[in-house]
Amino acid sequence: MALIVQKYGGTSVRDLARIRNVAQRVAKARREGNDVVVVVSAMAGETDRLIRLAQQASEVPDLREYDSLISTGEQVSAALLAITLQSMGFPARSFLGPQIRILTDSAFSVARIQKVETARLRRELKAGRIPIVTGFQGVDAEGNITTLGRGGSDTTGVAVAAALKADVCEIYTDVDGVYTTDPNICPDARKISRISYDEMMEMASLGAKVLQIRSVEFAKKYNVPIHVRSSFNDKSGTWVVKEDEKMEKVLVSGVTLSKNEARVTISRVPDRPGVASKIFTPISDAHIVVDMIIQNTSSDGYTDMTFTIPKGDLKRALKLVKKTAEEIKAQSVMADENIVKVSIIGAGMVSHAGVASKMFGALAKENINIMMISTSEIKISCVVEAKYGELATRVLHQAFGLEKGDLQKDG
């Protein structure tokens, strides 16, 4: 008998028919003799709808209230699944994050889980019931409801699995596993059967939204095996596990596209010590994560500064940056939401020359202009105009031969 945590994403609980399908899967795992804890997302589209409502109510909503609002979608799907399971004769009970006590810090809208209390969950399991936990939410030390950032139910799933020392965390979604790139963009994408935590973290951080990055961080830290699979069939999916020798270090193992990018440019920034700190400190204090930063070479004592941030943080960031720009007497602040980031990822890249030039060449061949570049040992990212994002993804996937069976590890 195993202890399994099953997390179901929004498309898997989109309507009552899908919720019934989930209930049947849960029931099956139970009938096979396992203890099952379920974590659910909101019904597909619901969190988006709630976010739009908040934005209609105020351009910059108070984040405490924002979290109270957008966490409600999960309450609906959790209770509906519990009711469905009960109607099938299975004792199930739904629980909100604060009822379990999923403790987080107080960074509203991007809170981090600090602790998952297990007493209530264990009691439920012992009594033979199936606990259904709302994903995406927790509670801070003051009792405020917090949310974990978009896609955060994955992290709830893995954090619950880690706390309970579960045998596996199954992430059920609308694709058969983790692919070399988003299979909805590139039909040639190939399923990867095993991937290391580190490579998965890189893919997640660069836009492969199939797993939230923090869920992979948790899994790595507590050594929780993740099985990403479809809720619509019984195929084996992708195992995200500790690196092992069987995992060949291929040159490029995946391509990601992140549409969640916005670019801010501050022009004619006086070029003197301390200016960068003045610009970026208020942004980081507001828990906004800055990704790429480019500073032009200085001419006549002035420079231009460009950086990227998540699209959803643009309004808040602009408010802060405009204030700083006035203080430091920069000329103007511009924002551009019409960008995306395409990246190639591969642990083998570090020891090979020519990967970057191959990437730039492939994009140039399609006349795709590169606006910003950043590199690390394991990835290269380019910012391009939004309309070229999907084309760039397909072009790079092909340029690095990812559609071919013999180049991949064991997909």
Burial of residue 32 (CB within 10 Å: 0-12, 13-18, 19+) is exposed
Place of tokens 């084309």: 391
C-alpha to C-alpha distances, 111 to 22, 64, 67, 279, nearest whole angstrom: 28, 11, 10, 23
Nearer to ligand ADP, 94 or 238 (CB): 238
Nearer to Mg ion, 39 or 344 (CB): 39
Residue type, 149: G
151: contact with ligand ASP by CB under 6 A = yes
Nearer to ligand ADP, 90 or 179 (CB): 179
The phi and psi torsions of 350 (rounded to 5 degrees) equal -55, -30
Nearer to ligand ADP, 6 or 94 (CB): 6
Distance (Å, whole) CA 275 – CA 204 = 32
151: contact with Mg ion by CB under 5 A = yes
Name which of residues 23 to 82 contact ligand ASP (CB under 6 A).
41-42, 47, 73
229: contact with ligand ASP by CB under 6 A = no
Nearer to ligand ASP, 158 or 264 (CB): 158
Taking the complex as a whole, the smallest distance from the CB of residue 312 to ligand ASP amounts, in Å, to 11
**Closest by CA position to 76, among listed 112, 47, 100:** 47
Pick one of 138, 149, 151, 237: the residue that binds ligand ADP (CB under 6 A): 151
Stretch touching ligand ADP by CB under 6 A, among 10-18, 52-60, 301-309, 372-380: 10-18
CB 39 within 8 A of CB 160: yes
Locate 288 and state its tokens: 């906004």
Pick one of 5, 6, 10, 111: the residue that binds ligand ASP (CB under 6 A): 10
Pick one of 67, 74, 124, 182: the residue that binds ligand ADP (CB under 6 A): 182
Distance (Å, whole) CA 294 – CA 261 = 15
Nearer to ligand ADP, 41 or 155 (CB): 41
Q: Please, which residues have CB within 8 angstroms of residue 3's CB and are 6 or more apart in sequence?
A: 34, 35, 36, 37, 125, 164, 165, 166, 167
Distance (Å, whole) CA 239 – CA 168 = 10
**What does 136 interact with, of ligand ASP, Mg ion, ligand ADP, none (CB < 5 to 8 A by kind)?**
ligand ASP
Nearer to ligand ASP, 53 or 88 (CB): 53
* Residue of minimal Cβ distance to ligand ADP: 9
393 in helix, strand or coil?
helix
**What does 42 interact with, of ligand ASP, Mg ion, ligand ADP, none (CB < 5 to 8 A by kind)?**
ligand ASP
Pick one of 66, 179, 280, 400: the residue that binds ligand ADP (CB under 6 A): 179
The enclosing H or E element of 219 equals: helix 213-222
210: contact with ligand ADP by CB under 6 A = yes
* Residue of minimal Cβ distance to Mg ion: 151
Nearer to Mg ion, 151 or 389 (CB): 151
* Residue of minimal Cβ distance to ligand ASP: 153
C-alpha to C-alpha distances, 151 to 9, 42, 59, 99, nearest whole angstrom: 9, 10, 23, 21
Q: Please, which residues have CB within 8 angstroms of residue 68's CB and are 6 or more apart in sequence?
A: 145
Taking the complex as a whole, the smallest distance from the CB of residue 150 to ligand ASP amounts, in Å, to 4
Binding stretches for Mg ion (CB under 5 A): 9, 151
Binding stretches for ligand ADP (CB under 6 A): 9-12, 41, 151, 173-175, 178-179, 181-184, 208-210
